[in-house]
Each structure stands twice: as C-alpha cells, then as structure tokens.
Amino acid sequence: MKIEDIVAFAFKNIKQKRTQSLLTIIGIVIGVLAIVSLISLGYGVQNYIHEEMMKMGSNKITILPVKQLGVPPSHLFTRKEVRAIENVKGIDKIMYGWYGGCEIEYNGEKKFVSYFYANPSELRAVYEETGYDLEKGRWLENNDKYACVIGYGTAHNLFDREIDVGDVIKIKDKKFKVVGILKQIGNQQDDNSVILNLDVGEDLFGNEDKFNIILVTIKEREDIEKVSEDIKKALERSFGDEDFSVLTAKQLSETVSSILGVITIFVVGVAAISLLVGAIGISNTMHMSILERRKDIGILKAIGAETTDILAIFVVESGFLGLFGGIIGLILGILVAKGVEILAHKMGYLMVNAWISWELIVGVLAFSFLVGVVSGYFPARSGAKLNPIDTLRGE
C-alpha cells in the first residue's frame, strides 16, 4: 500500500469521527498549552536576566557571604573583608553595603520595598556603569543624611499619589527627602526600592559594620578570572572559611539561570501529566476504533493489505491526533504566554517575557506527533494481527 493511501485512510477515519477525535485530543491540547506557555515564560525570564547581568559589564565581580544563592548567610562581611579585597591587585572600585527589605510610609500609606545602602560616591560610580540611570533629580552625596533615591516603581506605582523629587517619605518613623528617582529597570525588587547613605542605613537598621554584598570593578586589561581567584584567597584568609561566593557577571547569570532552569523543568514536568492523560485518551480511542472497524480490517486484508499496512494506518491516525492536539495547544500556549507578558509589562514586571523560537515550535509538534504514535502503536499492533476470516465472520 502506498504512503499516500495510508495517510488518506487515516484522515478519512478521523473525519468520520470528528467529535470523538476532538474529545480525544483535548488532553494533548491542555498538556501542550501548559508546557509551551511555561517553557516560553521560563526561558524568557532567563534570557532577560542573562542580558541584564551582561549589561553589568565583563569587569564586574559580585561577592556574597553565601555559598549557594537563596541560603541564609552564616556570617557577614565586615570592613576587615573590604580591606582584604582592596589590597588585591587589579581592583579599580569597590562598593559594599546591605540589601534588604523594609516598610516605608508616604501620604498615610505604608508599603513594603527593598532597600540598599552604600557609600554614595562608590554607589554612584558603580551604578552609573551598570546602566542604573536617573529619571529625575540627583544621586546621593556623601554629606546627605536624611535623603534618599527611590526606584521607578516606588515613585510611580506603589502609592495612590506619585512621589516626586522633593517629597518626603518615612522609614522607621524617620523622615527622608527624595532627591532622585531611578529610571525603570524591569524587575520589582529594583524598581520598588529605596537607596540610602551607608552611615544612615547602618544606624537605621542596626547593621553597623556588617555587609551582605560587595561589588567590585576591576581595572582595564586585567584578567578577571585571576583577580577573582585572588579575591577568593584573600577572603579565605580574612573570613576564615569558604562560605562565600565570588561571581563574575557571566557566572552570576549562569547561577541564577540554572536555578530558574530547575524550577522550569519541575513545573513543566508537572504539566506533562496532562500529556500522559492525553496519551491514554488516544490509546483508548484507537482501541475502540479497532473494535468498531474489525470488518474493515478484514476487507483490507482480504484485498491484499499487509499487516504492516494496517499497522501503519492506525499508527499514522493516532500520530495525527497527537499532532492536531499539538498544533492547537501550541497556538493557545503562545497566546497565553504573550498575554501574561503583556499583563506583566503593564504591571511593571519587564523581566517577564515570552520566548518563542523555531526550536520550541518544531520540538513541540514533533513531540506531540511522537506521543500520538506511541499511544496508538500497541492498539494498532493488536488490530493489525487480527485474522481476516474471523473479522469478516464478525467474530
């Protein structure tokens, strides 16, 4: 039997039972929809983070008092560690401070934001190099006491009334004058933020001589890997152990992406259960279809069709059921991902992006077809082995 005949038979069988075929592929549609939307958004966020990390520049090193991201530090950096890093050859600038969360008050409303404090001169030099520009106002100066720079989201999105340069906010009942507003960055932690002078921050939050982040800029033409290793050695001597991380922009991006990648794989794995349900549905439909068409199988065999031809007809039919479900699920998944992206951007989450590629499209469709083929193979094999005489007799 020719390939075109096999495909024609398969299509004919699907058309004859449109409702049954549609109900069969619903499981595949739901599974593919969930997988496509989750993969698209997961990789979209990873790509955004990678691009933002790369904007920091290849000459930046981030130092954290933890071995693994997301794990609370066992101890913190002090000025002793800062001095140890300053003595490393190749260091150009060093910024150290504290990153945390606090409640701020404005116009009678209270909201939770992230805060960061560091020496203003160091903070400005490093921030401007990493693309953190001001929308309006000015940066903090070393002699500023109760002054602050706030993020785009803190100024424009958090409160019922927008905050402008010159307005006053409260942090722990202390009044701070807003002297600058950052441009929109794209993630809520940075956009919903407030930046303070180091001395004021230490006094306000009680973290004197304690730092949970150090950012280093190395000199031009210096080997960043060598400087990174020298920093590790200096910190081991000062810190007393290896419970810290020294990460280049590339390493930091890879670390964050790997964490997000694991989460994405886990969530996609859960969504794949829907595909399993869909595969069982296809297998059940093919089994019922074979029982209903026993006489048709007998006639085909009687006029010369081989067992492999019968097997091919049903396998192709089940494969097309999987493919049709994949196409519908893919379209819906892309629409859902794009819808989430648009909604997230309107809410200020610029890091949420839908990642669509030909690899994703082709991979999903091929996988859907394969799921259909595998699901229909065993029922098709049993149907292909039917004795034509028995089937024609109605046995």
Q: What is the mean pLDDT of the chain?
A: 81
Please, which pLDDT band fits residue 239 given cuts at 50, 70 and 90?
Answer: confident
Determine the Cα angle at 267 with ends 62 and 35, to 5°: 115
Per-residue confidence (pLDDT) for residue 19, from 0 to 100: 72
Q: Evaluate whether residue 249 is within a structural domain.
A: no
> Residue 229: inside a domain, yes or no?
yes
Summarize pLDDT for 358-369 with one digit per residue, the tens.
888 998 898 888
Structure tokens at 330: 């893919």
Tell me what the mean pLDDT of segment 109-122 comes to. 90
- Domain boundary residue, one of 242, 275, 309: 242
Q: Is the pLDDT of residue 97 over 70?
A: yes
Residues 209 and 274 in one domain: no
Domain end residue (candidates: 212, 242, 272): 242
378 pLDDT higher than 80: no
Is residue 11 located within the same domain as residue 108?
Answer: no
What pLDDT sits at residue 25? 79
Given 195, 214, 242, which residue is the final one in a domain?
Answer: 242
> Mean per-residue pLDDT for 20-43?
82
Compute the average pLDDT of residues 132-150: 89
Q: Identify whether residues 84 and 210 lie together within a single domain.
A: yes
Tell me if 63 is assigned to some domain.
no
Higher pLDDT, 117 or 129: 117
237 & 367 share domain: no
Mean per-residue pLDDT, 135-164 = 91
Domain count across the chain: 2
Do 89 and 47 lie in a common domain? no
Residue range 387-391: average pLDDT?
Answer: 55
Any domain includes 60: no
| pLDDT tens, position by position, 277-294 | 777 777 777 767 666 666
Whether residue 344 is predicted with pLDDT greater than 90 in this model: the reply is no
Q: Give the pLDDT confidence of 3-12 residue by residue, as tens digits.
A: 676 677 666 7
Q: Is residue 331 part of a domain?
A: yes
220, 273: one domain: no
Query: What would the pLDDT profile of 60-80 be if each residue is shown by its tens digit?
Result: 888 888 877 667 777 888 889
65 is a domain residue: no
Range(s) of the domain holding residue 142:
75-242
Residue 142 lies in a domain: yes
Token digits of residue 253:
């991006």
Identify whether residues 224 and 284 lie together within a single domain. Answer: no
